[in-house]
């Protein structure tokens, strides 16, 4: 709680007394985002892996996956959405409490992925407004955590909600994939 | 007058807190009502027929259990705090209070309030096989390893 | 003597291969292809053949599925006396005692696609037959609950038929990809 | 009914009409026959005996344990008819993850097939690739070299271990021991790290292909597998202490979801559920494929056929898998990892720069795909959930004419109503978890 005097009022650093209520509310929403378990297919296994001990979503205040949409404010659509599942997904999204966000995890949720056929909805953004698209099939826990951090950043700045009010569409942020091993693996058995 | 001041302040605080929390959510939370939010949540399915109003009696047993234990405890706390000053008179009063509550608990147990569903009865008598529900049964005792010596014999092929 | 034996086996060798092949099961002609034994049976003979096989030890029904042979250029050869139809029902049975599998093939014509249901003999067939009905439109008479199982209830058409389009949405080319 | 007009109407049309469970008064007598279990129905005599129970006071409620539910292991929807807490009738409504994979399978060449098939049973992806490759090789009539067979066995046993660890984690969580999820996933991450080292991916590897394996084993794979074999057995003993000796865990699983051998065979169940009834049937031993007849392992069999048996079987099978992996570690033969038949295997990368034919060959195999002689072939393997079969019908072109995958979970889901009958809802959750269905394999 310092005050850099020669900078005048600008030097007053950020603290409780001088913080805006809006920042406090956004910070509270960001750090206790409760995801609704919407695990559909293979991405759900990776989402559970992200919730597990090794990748540990709890570091971001999200280790509790709420089952009922009444207590959840983030829907991670993890897996391919079939035509039979589309109305159910829309119903669960409508029943979620405001303010709510959607992460479309995996290429099948984002764009139908490799299943371009009669059974799969080609992209969940036809049904619900999507905020962050996480690429990968399945995206590793690192990519999911990267998507969640991106969303946290957008919630903290608050412009995600302003755009939602005007256009009703999601923030539609695309992120790149961040998993896999760093150093290349040398193949043995060359002889 | 001073003696009752804490109680009055406490009551006032309770009322104020109730009023604030009643109206705060209306003001602070964003409200976008839609038909789905009012609808009952049934795992994502829109229920096509209304759930019946009549509930089986057994659910009321659970309500009774709650009343017996929770409400009774609420009355025991103030007694426990001041049982020294109340002396024997207090003890008699508390025992008189507890007896009818305990009587309803006995009635509940007699009516099988805790014995939910036939499953438990069926399992305890070992209807399926003796020793199916027993503490001694661990992973080691319940499985047997069939080596690679042969396939199921004639009898086992049922 | 010996040379007689010597040449007759070759003679027989050729002969047995051509005429009867593996012996028919309960009168149903059997073909063998890469270790995949198949018995061809008519629609009305299916139930009693499965019943006879079950008493013999073929206890488990593994799979009931169908193949739409509409556009199959070179289809597996059928023994004579079996008229090739559009739909071909595959019933896969397994005998635990002999540890082997047997497929029953039933030819189902396109104009009247109904087959007697195996539910009475193998209750496990209920869901499999519902899936074949859902995907191919082959009806099973005697089936307790013949409704769709995989597709939504109000879906038109049977997806796995060869004349049903894949339902691919053509992928538009959204602008050129950035420098690789 | 496209998804867009759901959007406008705002009302989600989620009722599936005839596929749902009808209440007794509407559906009439025949629906009550479903009382015992969706498939093994009551006979008329039993229903008549049941009939004298006057129905008016026991108002049964029909409730949805719907597609979005924490304990249905994916998008399985069970319609339960409840009398208070007791489950009378159940009807599984599946299809909420139907991906049309069999239709897509007909559009992809044999080389692309494993990428499509591997997403069916996503807890054990390598088994799908193995069964597709075995069926294709049967059609081609080619023999895979020794080393490829043993590498496939190593990968499948590692995948079985990770699948059973996933079961132990979710079984503990479903029955209330939520921290089991953390323990189970800790070991699963170790196994996935070894699989990632070998195949490059944590899931959906596309590593087992028709003709052998995608690449050779990387440097230092023995050290990684040996380290896994040193840590996981100790952790499994830790689970024994955590779960098996717990009276709560025993009370929740023992005597719940009992099924007999005759019912399993009538329902077409295979895998741990069939073995839990005391019937020793394991494809790896009875219809050996790959090199399972040269490896010595035990088939684990239960005694009562209840949830506790299935839990013990999977725990013991995890140990058996590690025993097999240990034997593979020392007996992996040398040699090439793919069949050397020019028709099926693309030439090695270095050869393409040197010879024109290799380049043409490479190009033809990867674009048009290799042609498979016409015919039909059925191959089956013992996946962690039962017999996983793949029927391939080929018309001589480079794409399968018909690809049918027989998923064990499809039959296990049909047996759920039979096991859940008469139990409480909480028992039903334990039974679903013990059947361990994977919805990708059920709906395909």
| Residue D93 CB contacts under 8 Å (≥ 6 apart), including other chains | D16, D19, D20, D77, D78, D79
The tokens for A12 are 């007053």
pLDDT of residue B53: 66
Task: Measure the CA–CA gap between D130 and C128, rounded to whole angstroms.
Answer: 23
Sign of CA dihedral D368, D370, D375, D376: negative
Least confident piece of the model among C18-22, C48-52, D109-113, D180-184: C18-22
Q: Is D107 helix (H, G, I), strand (E, B) or coil?
A: coil
Chain centroid to CA C40: how far? Answer: 9
pLDDT of residue B83: 85
Kindly give the pairing relationship between strand A132-134 and strand A101-105. Answer: parallel
Total residue count of chain B as it appears in this document: 158
pLDDT of residue C7: 37
pLDDT at D443 over 70: yes
Number of Cβ atoms within 10 Å of the Cβ of A11: 11
Residues from chain A contacting residue D115 (CB–CB below 8 Å):
114
The structure's pTM equals 0.88
Of D318, D323, D249, D251, the C-alpha closest to D292 is D323
Residues from chain D contacting residue B58 (CB–CB below 8 Å):
84-85
D1-48 pLDDT, tens digit each: 333 444 444 445 788 878 888 877 777 667 777 777 778 887 777 777
Q: Is D86 helix (H, G, I), strand (E, B) or coil?
A: strand
Q: Is the peptide bond before B14 cis (omega within 30 degrees of 0)?
A: no
Q: Nearest chain B Cα to A89, which residue?
A: B44
- What is the mean pLDDT of the segment spanning B20-32? 82
Percent of chain D with pLDDT over 70: 94
pLDDT of residue B38: 80
Band (pLDDT 50/70/90 cuts) for residue D380 is very high
Cβ contact A118–C159 (<8 Å): yes
Interface test with C, best of B146, B148, B157 (most C CBs within 10 A): B157
Residue scoring higher pLDDT (D42 or C113): C113
Of D129, D176, D121, D116, the C-alpha closest to D413 is D121
CA atoms within 13 A on the CB side of B5: 3
Total residue count of chain A as it appears in this document: 191
Task: Measure the CA–CA gap between C159 and A84, rounded to whole angstroms.
Answer: 14
b vs e for A20-36, b when ≥16 Cβ sit within 10 Å of the residue's Cβ? Answer: eeeeeebeebbeebebb
SS3 content of chain D, % helix, strand, coil (to 5): 50, 10, 35
Task: Measure the CA–CA gap between B16 and B19, rounded to whole angstroms.
Answer: 5
C7-24 pLDDT, tens digit each: 333 333 333 333 346 777
Q: What angle do CA D333, D334, D337 make, to 5 degrees?
A: 100
Calculate the alpha carbon distances from C127 to C161, D95, D257 in Å.
19, 12, 20
Number of Cβ atoms within 10 Å of the Cβ of D83: 16
- The answer to whether D120 and D128 have CB atoms below 8 angstroms apart is yes
C136-179 pLDDT, tens digit each: 999 999 998 899 999 988 888 899 999 888 888 776 666 544 33
Q: How many CB pairs under 8 A join A and D?
A: 151
Residues 108-127 (A) with a CB less than 8 A from some CB of C: 112, 116-119, 122
Calculate the alpha carbon distances from A17 to A1, A2, A26, A28, C70 in Å.
9, 12, 16, 16, 77
- What is the mean pLDDT of the segment spanning B137-153? 72
Residues from chain C contacting residue A83 (CB–CB below 8 Å):
151-152, 155
Instruction: Indicate the burial class of A149 (C-beta count within 10 angstroms; 0-12, 13-18, 19 or more).
Output: middle
pLDDT at A51 over 50: yes
Any B CB within 8 A of C84 CB = no
| Residue D154 CB contacts under 8 Å (≥ 6 apart), including other chains | D225, D325, D328, D332
- What is the mean pLDDT of the segment spanning A77-105? 90
The string of DSSP letters for chain C reads -HHHHHHHHHHHHHHHHHTT-SPPBTTB-EEEETTEEEEEE-TTTHHHHHHHHHHHT--EEEEEEEEE-TT-SSPPPPPTT----SEEEEEEEEETTTTEEEEEEEEE-SSS-EEE--TTT-TTHHHHHHHHHHHH--EEET-TT---SSS-TT--S-TTSTTS---PPP----SPPPP-
Band (pLDDT 50/70/90 cuts) for residue B154 is very low
- Pick from A68, A88, A94: CB nearest B37: A94
The tokens for A171 are 């923030």
Chain centroid to CA A104: how far? Answer: 7
CA atoms within 13 A on the CB side of A94: 28
Residues from chain C contacting residue A122 (CB–CB below 8 Å):
169
Mean pLDDT of chain A: 84
Mean pLDDT of chain B: 79
Q: Encode chain B in three state secondary structure.
A: CHHHHHHHHHHHHHHHHHHHHHHHHHHHCCCCCCHHHHCCCCCCCCCCCCCCCCCCCHHHHHHHHHHHHHHHHHHHHHHHHCHHHHHHHHHHHHHHHHHHHHHHHHHHHHCCCCCCHHHHHHHHCCCCCCCCCCCCCCHHHHCEEECCCCCCCCHHHC
Task: Measure the CA–CA gap between B151 and D285, rounded to whole angstroms.
Answer: 8
C47-103 pLDDT, tens digit each: 999 999 999 889 999 999 999 998 888 888 888 888 888 999 999 999 998 888 999
pLDDT at B9 over 90: yes
Cβ contact A118–C166 (<8 Å): yes
Band (pLDDT 50/70/90 cuts) for residue A25 is confident
Total residue count of chain C as it appears in this document: 180
Residues from chain D contacting residue B138 (CB–CB below 8 Å):
240, 244-245
pLDDT at A186 over 70: no
Band (pLDDT 50/70/90 cuts) for residue B15 is very high
Place of tokens 């344990």: D65
pLDDT of residue B134: 77
pLDDT of residue C136: 93
Place of tokens 């393409």: D352
pLDDT at D410 over 90: yes
Number of Cβ atoms within 10 Å of the Cβ of B47: 15
pLDDT at B16 over 80: yes
Residues of A with CB under 8 A from a CB of B: 68-70, 87-89, 91-92, 94-95, 98-99
Mean pLDDT of chain D: 88
- What is the mean pLDDT of the segment spanning A83-106? 90
Q: Is D250 helix (H, G, I), strand (E, B) or coil?
A: helix
Task: Measure the CA–CA gap between D135 and D132, rounded to whole angstroms.
Answer: 5
Q: Nearest chain B Cα to C99, which residue?
A: B151
Interface test with C, best of B151, B153, B155 (most C CBs within 10 A): B151
Of A107, A134, A112, A114, the C-alpha closest to A122 is A112
Residues from chain B contacting residue A91 (CB–CB below 8 Å):
36, 44-46
Q: How many CB pairs under 8 A join A and B?
A: 25
pLDDT at C125 over 70: yes
Calculate the alpha carbon distances from B67 to B62, B102, B110, B113 in Å.
9, 11, 17, 14
Of C141, B48, C117, C153, the C-alpha closest to D26 is B48
Interface test with B, best of C97, C152, C154 (most B CBs within 10 A): C97
The tokens for D173 are 């969580």
Residues from chain A contacting residue C155 (CB–CB below 8 Å):
83
D297-337 pLDDT, tens digit each: 999 999 888 999 999 999 999 999 999 999 999 999 999 89
Band (pLDDT 50/70/90 cuts) for residue B148 is low
Cβ contact C127–D410 (<8 Å): yes
Cβ contact B45–A99 (<8 Å): no
pLDDT of residue C150: 92
- φ and ψ of D381, to 5 deg: -130, 165
Band (pLDDT 50/70/90 cuts) for residue A190 is very low
pLDDT at D92 over 50: yes
Q: Is D433 helix (H, G, I), strand (E, B) or coil?
A: helix
Task: Measure the CA–CA gap between A170 and A165, rounded to whole angstroms.
Answer: 10
Cβ contact B119–D302 (<8 Å): no
- The answer to whether D400 and D113 have CB atoms below 8 angstroms apart is yes
Percent of chain C with pLDDT over 90: 44
């Amino acid at each position: 709680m310092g005050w850099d005097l020669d900078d005048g009022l600008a030097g007053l650093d950020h603290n409780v007394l001088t913080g805006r209520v809006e920042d406090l509310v956004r910070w509270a929403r960001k750090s206790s985002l409760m995801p609704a378990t919407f695990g559909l297919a293979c991405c759900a296994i990776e989402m559970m892996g992200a919730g597990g001990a090794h990748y540990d979503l709890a570091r971001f205040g999200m280790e509790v996956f709420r089952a009922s949409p009444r207590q959840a404010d983030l829907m991670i659509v993890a897996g391919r959405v079939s035509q039979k599942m589309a109305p159910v997904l829309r119903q669960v999204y409508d029943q979620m409490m405001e303010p709510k966000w959607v992460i479309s995890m995996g290429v099948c949720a984002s764009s139908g992925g490799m299943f371009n056929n009669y059974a799969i909805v080609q992209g969940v953004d036809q049904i619900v407004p999507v905020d962050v698209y996480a690429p990968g099939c399945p995206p590793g826990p690192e990519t999911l955590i990267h998507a969640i951090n991106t969303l946290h950043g957008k919630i903290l700045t608050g412009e995600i909600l302003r755009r939602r009010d005007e256009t009703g569409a999601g923030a539609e942020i695309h992120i790149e994939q961040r998993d896999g091993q760093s150093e290349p693996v040398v193949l043995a058995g060359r002889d | 007058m001073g003696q009752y001041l804490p109680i009055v302040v406490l009551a006032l605080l309770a009322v104020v807190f109730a009023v604030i929390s009643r109206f705060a959510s209306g003001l602070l939370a964003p409200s976008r009502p839609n038909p789905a939010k009012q609808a009952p949540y049934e795992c994502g399915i829109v229920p096509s027929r209304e759930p019946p109003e009549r509930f089986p009696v057994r659910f009321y047993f659970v309500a009774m259990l709650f009343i017996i234990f929770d409400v009774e405890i609420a009355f025991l706390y103030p007694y426990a705090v001041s049982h020294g000053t109340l002396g024997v008179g207090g003890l008699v009063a508390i025992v008189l209070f507890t007896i009818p509550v305990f009587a309803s608990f006995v009635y509940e147990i007699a009516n099988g309030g805790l014995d939910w569903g036939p499953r438990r009865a069926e399992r305890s008598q070992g209807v399926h096989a003796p020793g199916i529900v027993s503490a001694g049964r661990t992973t080691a005792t319940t499985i047997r390893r069939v080596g690679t010596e042969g396939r199921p014999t004639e009898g086992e092929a049922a | 003597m010996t040379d007689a034996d010597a040449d007759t086996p070759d003679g027989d060798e050729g002969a047995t291969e051509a005429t009867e092949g593996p012996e028919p099961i309960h009168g149903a002609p059997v073909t063998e292809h890469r270790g995949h034994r198949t018995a061809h049976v008519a629609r009305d003979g299916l139930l009693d053949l499965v019943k006879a096989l079950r008493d013999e030890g073929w206890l488990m029904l593994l799979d009931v599925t169908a193949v739409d042979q509409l556009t199959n250029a070179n289809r597996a050869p059928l023994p004579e006396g079996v008229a090739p139809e559009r739909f071909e029902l595959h019933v896969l049975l397994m005998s635990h005692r002999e540890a082997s599998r047997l497929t029953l093939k039933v030819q189902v014509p396109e104009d009247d696609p109904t087959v007697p249901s195996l539910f009475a003999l193998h209750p496990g067939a209920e869901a499999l037959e519902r899936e074949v009905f859902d995907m191919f439109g082959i009806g099973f008479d005697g089936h307790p609950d013949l409704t769709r199982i995989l597709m939504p209830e109000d879906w038109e058409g049977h997806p796995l038929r060869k004349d049903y389009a894949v339902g691919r949405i053509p992928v538009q080319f959204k602008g050129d990809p950035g420098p690789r | 009914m496209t998804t867009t007009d759901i959007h406008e109407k705002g009302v989600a049309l989620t009722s599936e009409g005839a596929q749902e469970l009808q209440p007794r008064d509407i559906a009439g007598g025949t629906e009550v026959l479903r009382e015992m279990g969706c498939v093994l129905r009551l006979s008329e005599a039993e229903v008549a005996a049941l009939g004298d129970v006057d129905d008016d006071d026991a108002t049964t409620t029909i409730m949805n344990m719907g597609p979005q539910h924490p304990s249905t292991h994916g998008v399985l929807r069970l319609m339960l008819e409840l009398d208070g807490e007791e489950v009378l009738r159940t009807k599984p409504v599946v299809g909420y993850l139907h991906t049309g994979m069999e239709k897509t399978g007909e559009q992809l060449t044999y080389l692309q097939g494993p990428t499509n098939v591997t997403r069916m049973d996503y807890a054990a992806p390598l088994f799908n690739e193995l069964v597709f490759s075995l069926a294709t090789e049967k059609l081609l009539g080619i023999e895979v070299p020794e080393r490829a067979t043993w590498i496939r066995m190593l990968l499948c046993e590692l995948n079985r271990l990770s699948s059973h660890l996933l079961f132990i984690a979710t079984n503990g969580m479903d029955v209330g021991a939520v921290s089991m999820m953390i323990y189970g996933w800790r070991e699963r991450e170790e196994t996935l790290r070894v699989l990632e080292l070998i195949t490059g991916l944590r899931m959906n590897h596309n590593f087992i292909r028709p003709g052998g394996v995608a690449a050779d084993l990387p440097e230092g794979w023995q050290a990684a597998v040996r380290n896994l074999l040193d840590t996981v057995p100790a952790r499994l003993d830790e689970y024994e202490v955590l779960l098996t000796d717990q009276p709560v865990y025993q009370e929740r699983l023992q005597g719940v979801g009992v099924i007999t051998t005759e019912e399993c065979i009538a329902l077409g169940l295979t895998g741990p559920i069939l073995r839990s009834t005391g019937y020793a049937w394991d494809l790896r031993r009875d219809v050996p494929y790959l090199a399972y007849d040269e490896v010595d392992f035990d088939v684990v069999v239960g005694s009562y056929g209840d949830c506790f048996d299935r839990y013990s079987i999977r725990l013991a099978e995890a140990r058996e898998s590690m025993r097999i992996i240990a034997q593979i570690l020392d007996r992996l033969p040398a040699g090439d990892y793919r069949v050397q038949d020019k028709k099926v295997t693309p030439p090695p990368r270095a050869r393409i720069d040197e010879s024109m034919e290799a380049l043409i060959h490479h190009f033809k195999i990867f674009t048009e795909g290799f042609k498979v002689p016409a015919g039909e072939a059925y191959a089956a393997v013992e996946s962690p959930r039962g017999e996983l079969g793949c029927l391939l019908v080929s018309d001589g072109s480079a794409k399968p004419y018909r690809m049918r995958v027989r998923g064990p979970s499809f039959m296990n889901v049909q047996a759920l109503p039979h096991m859940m009958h008469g139990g409480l809802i909480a028992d039903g959750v334990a039974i679903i978890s013990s059947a361990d269905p994977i919805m990708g394999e059920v709906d395909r």
